[in-house]
Amino acid sequence: MSRPTSEIVPENVLPWWESACQYDKIGDVYHAVKLFRRIIRENPVWVPPYIRLIHIYLQREEWKQVYAFSKRALSLDASLKAVWWYWGVSAEKTGKLTVAKRVWSKFGLLEKIKFKELVCLKIFYDQRSELIWALTCGPAKAQIINIPYPTSGICYQDIVYYHRISSEYQVVGKVKHPIYHILSRQKASHFNTYSCLLKETEQEDLKKLGDLCQQAGLGFEIWSNSTRAMGNINEEDNKEFYFIHKDLIENEFLISMAARREDQVKEILNAWEIITLKIYTDFKSYEKRETLFYKK
């Protein structure tokens, strides 16, 4: 079977293409960008260098460049559905709302979008990926309802942009949920992340803590029950789910809470100790990581 025309490297740019791809692979952005741009100057109708540059600028969150190269790539090949999505998101990020609306209309999203619809999102960080749940709040936006692991760069109730093209699914019960990749944070929440260990704790004790958090408007999650995180970001490898905390003893739980301030969390935990006569230990607060990791 012959290769698609777009994948055949033109002879006049072959050496530059091979070098640019190698620089891109090892993370040498400066030389990769320089060579991909040179290839475009030499062969402006060949699409692959535009796609490479879009991915580089997505990773760096340089949205004006994402917008410009997405627009140029689509002028050459309007069938690139993923690039349409990049163009729409970058249009929103750069304030070109009329363009964004035109893109969402092209896919029928302005008519079809259901607000507060549950979606499954994937974030990449620290050589792993994590599946998190969110509620839609626009054609390309959703608000996080899980408490992601802190090094992910995502916090409870952050609003994020995501890519609505999916080739993976999360099965819950008998329902298949498409998995979408997070592209960028649109708005950071005011919540911070905290965790602690609960000792000799029964299910009713966990429920009581969850109820107290809900009444106070705080986020609550049992991290030690979570199997959302996967240990390798290579899509070709078999993914293994893992527990964030593996060495817990029976009736011991690692829980997370999301609040604006630490004293709010301590107040709830102290009240929980009085009500249940149980204890918490290993309290931790986490600094927010500002950078998200986009995976190509």
Can you count the helices (H) and strands (E) in the chain?
9, 10
* Inside any domain, residue 248: yes
Spell out the residues 6+ positions from residue 171 whose beta carbon is closer than 8 angstroms to its own.
177
Given the structure tokens 């293994």, which residue do they identify? 240
CA dist 186 → 110, 141, 158, 183, 259 (Å) = 19, 8, 8, 9, 20
Same domain flag for 119 and 66: no
CB-based contact 120:180 (threshold 8 Å): yes
The confidence band for 240, taking pLDDT boundaries of 50, 70 and 90, is very low
Answer whether residue 228 shows pLDDT above 70: no
Residue 219 lies in a domain: yes
Structure tokens at 230: 């996967």
Which token pair is 86? 């990049």
Among candidate residues 78, 107, 136, the one where a domain is terminated = 107
**Is 1 part of a structural domain of the chain?**
no
Do residues 180 and 162 lie in contact, with contact meaning Cβ atoms separated by under 8 Å? yes
For residue 99, which of 137, 61, 139 has the smallest C-alpha distance? 139
Greatest mean pLDDT among 108-117, 197-206, 241-250, 281-290: 197-206
The answer to whether residues 58 and 21 belong to one domain is: yes
SS3 per residue for 193-242: EEEEEEECCCHHHHHHHHHHHHHHCCEEEEHHHCCCEECCCCCCCCCCEC
Q: Which range of residues forms the domain containing residue 93?
A: 8-107
The reply to whether 80 falls in a domain is yes
Residue 176's pLDDT band, with cuts at 50, 70 and 90, is confident
103 and 116 in a common domain: no
How many domains are contained in the chain? 3
Both 29 and 68 in a single domain? yes
Boundary of a domain, candidates 72, 107, 142:
107
Average pLDDT across the chain, whole number: 85
Which of these, 75, 97, 80, 79, lies nearest to 88 by C-alpha position? 97
Sign of CA dihedral 242, 248, 253, 255: negative
Q: What's the CATH number where 23 sits?
A: 1.25.40.10
State the average pLDDT over residues 24-33.
94
Q: Which residue has tokens 């649109």?
A: 186
- Please write the tens of the pLDDT for every residue from 118-168: 899 988 877 778 889 999 988 889 999 999 988 888 899 999 999 887 778
Whether residue 226 sits in one domain with residue 138: no
User: In the listed set 144, 160, 187, which residue is the last one of a domain according to the structure?
Assistant: 187
Claim to verify: residue 64 and residue 15 sit in the same structural domain: yes
CATH number, domain of 252, equals 3.30.70
Q: What angle do CA 273, 277, 281 make, to 5 degrees?
A: 50
Average pLDDT, integer, range 5-32: 87
Spatial distance between the Cα atoms of 18 and 3, rounded to a whole number of angstroms:
17
Are 88 and 169 contained in the same domain?
Answer: no
Q: How far apart are the first and last CA of the chain?
A: 26
* Tokens coding 154: 């995502």
Residue 2 lies in a domain: no
69 and 123 fall within a common domain: no
Same domain, 263 and 202: yes
Q: At which residue do the structure tokens 């002879």 appear? A: 11
Reduced to 3 states (helix: H, G, I; strand: E, B; else coil), residue 69 is helix
Would you say residue 277 lies in a domain?
Answer: yes
Residue 292 counted as domain residue: no
Give a yes or no: residue 293 inside a domain: no
